[in-house]
């Protein structure tokens, strides 16, 4: 029996607060994700989705449970995982090519090799001709493409995406979804995506994991059997609409419960 690329076992997370009760963010999370699989996690705001992603990346320590990559326990950040955040977080004084190569430079990769690898991912992200541009000269969508290219350049086993298109307008977001699929199909990486957009989750993923309201638990997993490659026209097909509706019905009550927690 093969070992899953990513295994999450009984993950709990409580944030302690001085003089106040702790906040339980996650309870008993169990997930197994195979090599090359694209999995999206959806749920109400505050359900611990981003917290789980940071635990997978090694940026947060769980209160209980373990995360494993290829059978090895995660204890800290590592090059086998790369995170893409909501904001592009590019270095403004570096060019596109330099930003994409940044992780390789930190790893002391020889310059010629780093430049060659960076150029490959610049091309893969559709950024040819913009290598010498600076972040302020790029649109929001292009900056996020640089962000994804930089994450992929270090050759991680797992790409972690935390609402990567949240700051984009609706039209750019849809185009970026198709471009992300193209990059994923070429790179064959294992991807975990956090998103509030149910249609985005269905369009991109092989499987959608629905979280309950806080404390986040796995309420249900929905397999997405839509054929690949996918196009934006697919979003108007009955099966796509049915899946979106099924997932929305699962989280509607959780969203209402989450709103009550914040009022």
Q: How many helices (H) and strands (E) does the chain have?
A: 8, 10
Q: Tell me the C-alpha distance between 111 and 159, whole Å.
A: 24
Confidence of residue 263 (pLDDT cuts 50, 70, 90): low
Confidence of residue 257 (pLDDT cuts 50, 70, 90): low
| Predicted pLDDT at 258 | 61
Instruction: Decide if pLDDT at 120 tops 70.
Output: yes
What is the H or E stretch that residue 86 is in? none
Rounded mean pLDDT, 32-59: 94
**Share above pLDDT 90 across residues of the chain, in percent, rounded to a whole number:** 74
Backbone angles phi, psi at 162, to 5 degrees: -105, 95
Q: Tell me the C-alpha distance between 110 and 16, whole Å.
A: 44
Instruction: Decide if pLDDT at 20 tops 90.
Output: no
Three-state SS at 148: helix
130 vs 113, 163, 221, CA distance in Å? 20, 24, 40
Structure tokens at 107: 């790893």
CA 127: distance to chain centroid? 21
Q: Tell me the C-alpha distance between 74 and 227, whole Å.
A: 33
Q: Tell me the C-alpha distance between 171 and 86, whole Å.
A: 17
Rounded mean pLDDT, 146-166: 92
| Predicted pLDDT at 86 | 82
Confidence of residue 200 (pLDDT cuts 50, 70, 90): very high
| Predicted pLDDT at 33 | 96
Three-state SS at 56: helix
pLDDT digits (tens, 9 = 90+) for 63-92: 999 999 999 999 999 989 999 988 878 999
Instruction: Decide if pLDDT at 208 tops 90.
Output: yes
Q: Tell me the C-alpha distance between 188 and 228, whole Å.
A: 14
| Predicted pLDDT at 55 | 97
CB 230 within 8 A of CB 198: no
What is the H or E stretch that residue 41 is in? strand 38-42
Structure tokens at 69: 């990559």
| Predicted pLDDT at 261 | 60
pLDDT digits (tens, 9 = 90+) for 50-70: 999 999 999 999 999 999 999
| Average pLDDT in the chain | 91
């Amino acid at each position: 029996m093969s070992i899953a690329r990513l295994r999450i076992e009984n993950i709990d997370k409580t944030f302690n607060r001085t003089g106040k009760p702790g906040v339980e963010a996650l309870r008993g999370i169990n997930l197994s994700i195979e090599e090359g699989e694209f999995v999206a996690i959806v749920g109400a705001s505050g359900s611990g989705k981003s917290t789980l992603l940071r635990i997978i990346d090694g940026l947060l320590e769980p209160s209980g449970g373990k995360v494993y990559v290829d059978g090895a326990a995660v204890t800290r950040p590592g090059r086998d995982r790369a995170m893409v955040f909501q904001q592009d977080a590019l270095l403004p004084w570096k060019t596109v090519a330099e930003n994409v190569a940044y992780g390789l430079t930190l790893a002391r990769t020889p310059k010629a090799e780093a430049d060659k690898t960076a150029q490959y991912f610049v091309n893969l992200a559709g950024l040819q001709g913009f290598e010498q541009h600076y972040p302020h000269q790029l649109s929001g969508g292009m900056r996020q493409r640089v962000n994804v290219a930089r994450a992929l350049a270090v050759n991680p086993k797992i790409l972690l995406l935390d609402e990567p298109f949240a700051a984009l307008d609706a039209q750019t977001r849809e185009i970026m979804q198709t471009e992300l699929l193209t990059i994923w199909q070429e790179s064959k990486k294992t991807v975990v995506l956090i998103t509030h957009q149910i249609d985005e989750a269905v369009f991109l993923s092989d499987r959608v994991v629905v979280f309950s309201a806080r404390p986040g638990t796995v309420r249900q997993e929905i397999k997405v059997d839509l054929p690949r490659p996918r196009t934006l026209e697919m979003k108007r097909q009955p099966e796509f609409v049915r899946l979106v509706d099924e997932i929305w019905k699962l989280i509607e009550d959780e969203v209402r419960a989450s709103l009550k927690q914040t009022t």
